[in-house]
Amino acid sequence: MNSRIIINSIYTLLTILIIISIFGFFVLPFFTIKEIKLDSSISFSNNIENIAGLNSSSSFLFIKPDIIEKRILKEPLVRKVYVEKSFPDTLNITVFGRKALAIAYVDQGGISIPICFDENGVVFQIGNEIEDINLPVLSGDLDFGKVSTGGELPKVLVPLLKSLKDIRGSVPEYYSSISEIIVTKRGEKTFDLVLHFIFSPIKAVVRDVLTASELKNIIVVISLLERESVSVDQVDFREDEIVYREKE
C-alpha cells in the first residue's frame, strides 16, 4: 500500500514538473512585454526600459507595477508615476515630471553653480542641466550643504516653497516679477524675506510665508512709489502699518 502511494506521488510530481516545463518553454514566451506605452511630461537621458529594469524576456504575468514605479521614481526628474498592465502584452507608464519653482546658487570648489528645485525642495537639475534660469533666485541665510541631484533643501523652507507654488499658480504674472528672494533668519526655524523685483529697485520685507493677495498688495504699493519717484529704498510689510525706509 505504501509503495503504491509512493509511486502515485512520484507520478504526480513528474506530471507537475512536465506541466511546469511545458508552461515555461511554450506558454510564457507568449506572455512577455511586447509594447511599452509611455506618456511622459519629461524626457529621459536613458531609455525607459533600462530605467524600469525591463528587457525582451520580461514576463507580463509576473512583473509587479509597484516595483516598476519605485524604480522609475528614483529618477530625480520624476514627481509621480503610474504603471498599469494591459492584457496580453502591453505596459502603460504615465510619468509626471518635476516643475522648476526657483533656483539657487551653491559654491562647489570656488565656483558658483545654479541648482533648480520644486515646491518640495527637491533638487532635480544642476548647472548646465537647468533648462529655465528665468526664475526667482533664492538666497541669503541658507545652508544647502553638499547639494546633489535628488537632494533636498532645508525642510524649514518647504512652507515658503509651497506658498510660492500657490502664487505662481494663481497669479503667474506677479510671481514672474520677483527677481530674488533673500532669506534672513530670525531664529532657528523662523525667518523674514526680502523681495527684489525686476520692475523696481525698491525692496519689500515680509514674513516667512507669502500669499498671492499679499504679493498683489506689495506690487501695487511699490508700483505707486516707483511712479511717484519717491526716494524709498525698502518697504516693510511685516506689521499692520507699512514702514518705509528712505534711500541713504
For residue range 211-222, list pLDDT tens digits in order. Answer: 999 999 999 999
3: confidence class by pLDDT, cuts 50, 70, 90: low
pLDDT, greater one: 7 or 81? 81
Torsion angle of C-alpha atoms 104, 105, 108, 111, degrees rounded to 10: 160
Q: For residue range 74-103, list pLDDT tens digits in order.
A: 888 899 999 998 887 888 999 999 988 999
Q: Is 53 left (phi over 0), alpha (psi -120 to 50) or beta?
A: left
Whole-number Å distance between alpha carbons of 236 and 119: 26
Long-range contacts of 65-70 (CB under 8 A, 24+ apart): 68/93
Q: Could you tell me where the DSSP H helices lie in the chain?
A: 2-22, 48-52, 65-73, 158-170, 172-175, 212-227
Name the residue ranges covered by the structural domains of the chain.
31-97, 102-246
Rounded to the nearest integer, the mean pLDDT of the chain is 84
pTM (two decimals): 0.77
Q: Could you tell me the fold of the domain covering 102-246?
A: Rossmann fold (3.40.50)
Tell me what pLDDT residue 101 has. Answer: 92
Tell me what pLDDT residue 172 has. Answer: 92
Q: For residue range 161-187, list pLDDT tens digits in order.
A: 999 999 999 999 999 999 999 999 887
Residue 10, pLDDT > 80, answer: no
Tell me what pLDDT residue 22 has. Answer: 52
Whole-number Å distance between alpha carbons of 37 and 48: 10
Q: 126: burial class by Cβ within 10 Å (0-12, 13-18, 19+)?
A: buried
235: confidence class by pLDDT, cuts 50, 70, 90: very high
**Beta partners for residue 95, in sequence order:** 40, 81
31-97 placed in CATH 1.10.3210.10:
no
Q: What share of the chain is helix, strand, coil (3-state, %, to 5)?
A: 35, 30, 35
Q: For residue range 34-83, list pLDDT tens digits in order.
A: 888 999 888 877 788 889 888 877 777 778 899 999 999 988 889 999 99
Alpha-carbon distance values, 90 to 59, 197, 199 (Å):
11, 50, 52
Tell me what pLDDT residue 148 has. Answer: 77
Cell matching residue 134:
528665468
Which sign, positive or negative, has the C-alpha torsion 47, 52, 55, 56?
negative
142: confidence class by pLDDT, cuts 50, 70, 90: confident
Average pLDDT over residues 103-119: 86
